[in-house]
Amino acid sequence: MVKYLLDSNCFIEPMKRYYSFKAFPSYWKWLNEELNKENSLLVISKCVADEINVDPRLEKWTQEHFSNLVYDENRDPFVWSKYAEIINYVQNCGAYQTGSVNEWKKPGKADPLLIAIASQYNYQIVTFERESGQFGYDVNNEWNWKHNGGPIRHEPKIPDIAKHFGVSCITLFDLEEKLKLCI
C-alpha cells in the first residue's frame, strides 16, 4: 500500500484558501482522523511540521492533533545520504543558478528532505507544486533539464527533482479523491 508524504503546502494552502478552520471544521476533522488511523497512509515529516508551525493557527492545530505522529528524519542516516545525493544533483545538473541552489541548501528547507524521505521509503509526495516545464526525458529516457535558455533563477520545484529520483507527486485534491474525502 502506497504511503503519502505531505508537503507543508497541504496544510497552509487549505487553511488560507479552501478549508478555513471556521468554515470547514469537517475537513480538519477528516484530516485528523486520517492522520491518526492505525496504519495511516499519511506521513508528516519533522521538517514539514516545523514549516507549518510558523502560522499560530496551524501550530495550535498540529500540537493538538498529531505532534506525536511526526516522522523525525534527523535520526535517519539513509535519508541524509539520499539528501546529499539530491543536493549534489541540483547543484551539478546545470539547471539552476547559484542562488536557486542555495535556497535548497538552507537549514530547515523541507523540499529536498521530502524527496529524500520519499525516495528512501517509496512514498508518494503530496504537494501543490507543479513541474516547471524545464525538464523532460532525454534520448536515454532519463529525466533531465531541457536546456531551454539559461539556468533557472527560481528555486527547484519538488516534482522536477522528485521525478529524477523516481518519486511521483500528486496534489492534495488527488489524495482527497483517493481517500474518498466527503465533507
User: pLDDT tens digits for 97-144?
Assistant: 999 899 999 988 999 999 999 999 999 999 999 988 887 777 787 777
Count of other CB atoms within 10 angstroms of residue 149: 7
Q: Where does residue 3 rank: exposed (0-12), middle (13-18), buried (19+ CB within 10 A)?
A: middle
Grid coordinates belonging to 133:
516545464
Supply the DSSP symbol for 40. -
Low-confidence stretches of the chain (pLDDT beneath 50): none
Q: How many angstroms separate the CA atoms of 49 and 51, rounded? A: 5
Structure confidence at residue 65 (pLDDT)? 85
Structure confidence at residue 11 (pLDDT)? 93
Supply the DSSP symbol for 74. G
